[in-house]
Amino acid sequence: MTAENSLLIPESTLLQYSVNMLSRVGVPADEAELVASNLIEADLRGVASHGIVRLPIYIKRILDGGTNPTPKVNIVRQTRTTAVVDGDNGLGHFVGVKAMEIAIEKAAEGDVSFVAVRNSNHFGTAAYYAEMAARKGMIGFSFTIGAINHMAPWGGAEAMLGNNPFAIAFPSREPFPVVLDMACSVAARGKIIVAAKEGKPIPSDWATGPDGLPTTDAAEALKGFVIPVGGPKGYALTLTVGLLSTMLSGAAFGRDVGELYEKTADAQNSGHLFGVLPVSSFDDLESYLDRMDRAIADLRNAKKATGVDRIYMPGEREYLALIKHRENGVPIGPALARELAELGRKHDVDFEVSL
């Protein structure tokens, strides 16, 4: 166990457990593997808020009828460069990959493409989909509506917005794309969920309690509101991402957004928007990559502040965490490990971890 009292669990153990759990509740094997890989990659990259901590609620929603384990994802409207995809209430990770694959295919001949999605669910990390395009030599965009309203409009006292994450990924010659992946709140609500599960405090600028006052109590924060990054600018940003994620497809927005954790028998109609910008439509890919090399080198070689040894590119820390965790194991908090073991026992799925 680490200094934080976490268990270090091999990637293969977490993947197999997740696949087995999803398969047990009716998710087809190939889709279970895709969703599990998406989840565990988040943990590998150190983004525990969107990793296996989410698996129990996905399982519950399937069992309660709120999520369809066998969706028929289909295009309901399209042009040469755009599409609207209906996710048939499937797991958001599976729906998201299928939609981004459509966007990449439409951009294969050099066209900019966008694919809007309705009738989906929480899809994990936005970076996962943007990076799919970056690996093809394209700039990828990924936007999503939050799966629960937990942010008030600026000046309001009622939760009407999610923190609506988005990601933009740029191809590079580094072993990772340069990628912005952020929620529009100071911290993702998933980080508060992880802290609450392990009984740990949170920074006072992450959220307010139900009384509207800042709190360090993660459990109280889950009853209140997350705080937008940058105050009114963060509110405007989360509104913009929410509109992009829903208005083109007819997905739920505002009061229509379901409750991921509370209304587990109800479909959420979550919306996403995926975009692809083919670099080769603007310039030779190698010339673009040369410019990216220079830009990255300039930033890394900038004069450093006192006490700083290294300047990182966005997405670099996550890549380094992935390498480390693949070698040493994924840190999982003891409370979460116990929850996963109990869930496994309930469904006759082994969780091969010594607790």
pLDDT of residue 355: 62
- How does residue 2 score in pLDDT terms, banded at 50, 70 and 90? very low
Q: What is the pLDDT of residue 198?
A: 84
Beta bridge partners of 138: 278
Kindly state the average pLDDT of the residues 7-12: 95
Percent of the chain with pLDDT over 90: 82
Q: What value does the mean pLDDT take over residues 251-271?
A: 94
**Whether residue 3 has pLDDT greater than 70:** no
Please tell me the predicted confidence (pLDDT) of residue 1. Answer: 39
Given this model, what pLDDT does residue 187 score?
Answer: 82
Let me know: does 4 contact 336? Beta carbons within 8 Å. Answer: no
The beta-strand segments (E) located in the chain are 7-9, 74-78, 82-86, 113-120, 138-144, 166-170, 178-182, 207-208, 225-226, 270-278, 330-332
Model pLDDT, residue 224: 86
Question: What confidence tier does 193 reach under pLDDT thresholds 50, 70, 90?
Answer: confident
Token output for 308:
């700083």
111 near 81, Cβ under 8 Å?
yes
Say if residue 23's pLDDT is above 90: yes
pLDDT at residue 190 above 80? no
pLDDT at 158 (0 to 100) = 86
For residue 259, count other CB atoms closer than 10 A to its CB: 14
Per-residue DSSP letter, 304: P
What is the distance between the terminal CA atoms of the chain, rounded to a whole angstrom? 10
pTM: 0.92
Average pLDDT over residues 204-220: 88
Which of 5-9, 178-182, 292-296 shows the lowest mean pLDDT across its residues? Answer: 5-9
pLDDT category at 238 given cuts 50, 70, 90 is very high
Domains and CATH numbers, the chain: 1-64+302-355 (1.10.1530.10), 71-185+228-282 (3.30.1370.60)
| Separation CA 242–CA 237 (nearest Å) | 9
